[in-house]
Structure 1
Amino acid sequence: MSEFSFANLNPDRILDAIESIGVYPETGLLPLNSYENRVYQFKAEDGKRYVTKFYRPERWSEAQIKEEHAFAFELANEEVPIVAPVEIAGESLFEHAGYKFALFPSVGGRQFEIDNLDQLEMLGRYIGRLHLVGKSKPFQHRLSINTQSYLLDAKEVIQNSKLVPIHLETAFYTILEQVISQTAQMYHVDKPIRLHGDAHAGNILCTGDSLTLVDLDDCRSGPAIQDLWMMLNGDKNEQLMQLDTLLMGYEEFNSFDAKELQLIEPLRAMRMVHYMGWLAARWEDPAFTRNFSWFATDKYWEQQILALKEQLAALQEPALQLFP
């Protein structure tokens, strides 16, 4: 079994790792909803609640993880509401028994309401401030959002997995190729910046009258619209209203290039294909076969054929335009 499955990360090893940095849990470890990494919440003897994250081996290099942390500290120093890791003796990335891990303060809150326009405007302000920091300098080690990794590499992983049912292969790969070709023609980024990278509702917490952004695990370089488009849902008029609200807040702090609206559907296509490739790449991890059992069913791949056809049509539609 590949090491990336966390096969050797048992509760005793997790506790030993946490205690190795001078933090002593007084409660049990509560697993949090994360499949890519292993994440646990606990209360320590100092009375504080923490979250510890064990990074999946072989996914990010040490330099890439440290750059994620540095970005979080940079944002926090500029008062962008992000959960940054805890530093102990000047370090935020630790290692125990071959596993790299970090400690974060536990932040409570309710889930972001994607249809709440007040919250959308507030999020727009926060993302605008995040991008103001993000464009001040480039990443040196983190990856970019690009068609090679999100489309071509993902397709290769899917093919090698042999998970697509034989009788659906022709239909699936035919439409997949069309989506990849169309997306590659449309996806061009003039001014990539450092991004949150995965700014969906699950990574935003509402605390009182404010929002907190969490989880920079997927921070990458790419177009600014990447951190905005996942907030858009519903029909075209609803999306225009949501976009206008987001940008009303965003442009209080930062300018937005309207040409990037043409990247929304290509980015959606890339996320769809990348997600399938991600599941296929992790399929030997028991946590994935247990929690995503539908991934190996005929029904799932039939649905993906339909979804890709709909996405190809969306790619050929005119892009959203801002209200005049």
Structure 2
Amino acid sequence: MPHYAALRPESVLDAAAAAGFDPDGRLLQLNSYENRVFQVFLEDGVVVVAKFYRPERWSDAQILEEHAFALALAAADVPVVAPLALQSRDGLLALSGEPPTLGEIRLDGEPFRFSISPRRAGRAPDLEDPMVLQWLGRFLGRLHAVGAEAPFRHRRTLDVATFGEAARDRLLEGDFIPPDQLPAWRSSCDAALNAVREVFERVGTVRRLRLHGDCHPGNILWRDEGPHVVDLDDACTGPAVQDLWMLLSGQPTAMAAQLGQILQGYRLFMPFDTRELALIEPLRTLRMIHHSAWLAERWSDPAFPAAFPFFGTSAYWSEQTTQLREQLEAMGEPPLELY
């Protein structure tokens, strides 16, 4: 596997130049655990963002599906930052996509895949403002309307097998859980996954479409002209409510009121199946298990132990066990009721 240590500042500038851009030498690394992301300042005063993908996380086909989705959203005037078309100066890059949006360059003999997009800034949305919630609903309704036009063929599907069972198995196979915490965590995790399956079976078949996939407030940027997203790295196939529930907080009555505001805007562009409300707590449970597996998979990356020093401790797994038990109780409660 290529190591990010080979991705030196001069290598990033060389990659941007090989892709048809003219860096002026200035570079700023942005916060990103999963990938390596840089602002690249160009000679004409424009600033672009170069994103170098974590090796072996996604296949080329999966990345190109993400790019195609972003381009389709941009073509429909949905405010998502789409990748720019690349060129290969002097034949230094291997290019993929129509248009070519994925480049591969060899650094110290190792391949690195990257894309380049315009820079877009923004602030966190004010989720206490009902008008902001309605606007976010309209934004997600438009995003889902495009998402429903065609399926993903290579991206992951958000289901119990992929985000729950496979994540649990990776944690167990890797011996990440201390022996004193393993029995309790495994028992709670298995019980929680059984409950998730039961809820999904009880709800029955719901529409699955292309989603943002990781639509928490930190992944939505707000400008005067409204919300936008700059990254679809976790785009997947799943139920619409996956892109809605992470915007909710507080007690059930507060979350129901917030969701009601979001759906006022959402339903202007997309119908919403209220049966999906029962999937909120199961989806939250899957996210918890998947997040632990994500940390475990990245533990060899020096950035992760530094950022998440608590992971792997007995205290961490004790807390996870407690949260899974709480999720068991939550999944036994009636779903949110809209007023």
Q: TM over 0.5: same fold?
A: yes
Indicate the larger mover: 140-149 or 263-272: 140-149
Unpaired segments ≥5 residues, structure 2: 88-98
Supply the distance in 1 between the matched residues of 2:200 and 2:40 (Cα, whole angstroms). 43
User: What is the number of residues matched between the two proteins?
Assistant: 321
Q: Distance in 2 between matches of 1:81 and 1:231?
A: 18
**Stretch moving more, 10-19 or 147-156:** 10-19
Q: What letter is aligned with 1:64?
A: Q
Deviation >6 Å, runs of 4+: none
Mapping of residues 175-324 of structure 1, within 5 Å: 175-187=188-200, 189-323=205-339
Matched-pair contact (CA < 8 Å) for 1:265–1:315: yes
Letter in 1 for 2:214: D
Q: The residue matched to 1:133 in structure 2 has which SS?
A: helix
CA contact (8 A) 2:208 2:238 kept: yes
Shift of 1:144: 0.8
Q: Distance in 1 between matches of 2:219 and 2:212?
A: 10
- What residue number does 1:104 align with? 117
* Structure 1 unaligned regions, length at least 5: none
Deviation at 1:5, TM superposition (A): 4.9
Which residue matches 2:101? 92
**Residue 290 (structure 1) shift:** 1.4
**Deviation of 1:291 (Å):** 1.1
Q: Is the 8 A contact 2:125 2:221 kept in 1?
A: yes
Compare 137-146 and 236-245 and name the one that shifted more: 137-146
- Structure 1 residue 140: deviation in Å? 1.7
**CA drift at 1:282:** 1.0
Corresponding residue for 1:167?
180
Output one character per residue of 1:115-173: Cα deviation in whole Å (capped at 9) or x when no partner: 22221110100100111111111112211111111111111111122221211111111
Which deviates further from its counterpart, 67-76 or 134-143? 134-143
Q: TM-score normalised to the size of structure 2? A: 0.91
Q: Distance in 1 between matches of 2:180 and 2:50?
A: 44
Q: 2: distance between equivalents of 1:218 and 1:240?
A: 26
- Paired letter, 1:201: P
Compute the displacement of 1:27 (Å). 4.5
Aligned residue type for 1:296: G
Deviation digits for residues 291-313 of structure 1 (CA, Å, limit 9, x no counterpart): 11110222211111111111111
1:5–1:286: 8 Å Cα contact kept in structure 2? no
What do residues 14-36 of structure 1 show as CA deviations (whole Å, max 9, x unaligned)?
A: 22211111213224322212111
Distance 1:93 1:157 in 2: 29
Cα deviation, residue 10, structure 1: 2.4
C-alpha RMSD over aligned residues: 1.4
Identical positions, percent:
43
Q: Tell me, yes or no, if structure 1 residue 138 matches structure 2 residue 154.
A: no
CA-CA distance at 1:194 after TM superposition: 0.8
CA distance in 2, matches of 1:40, 1:187: 40
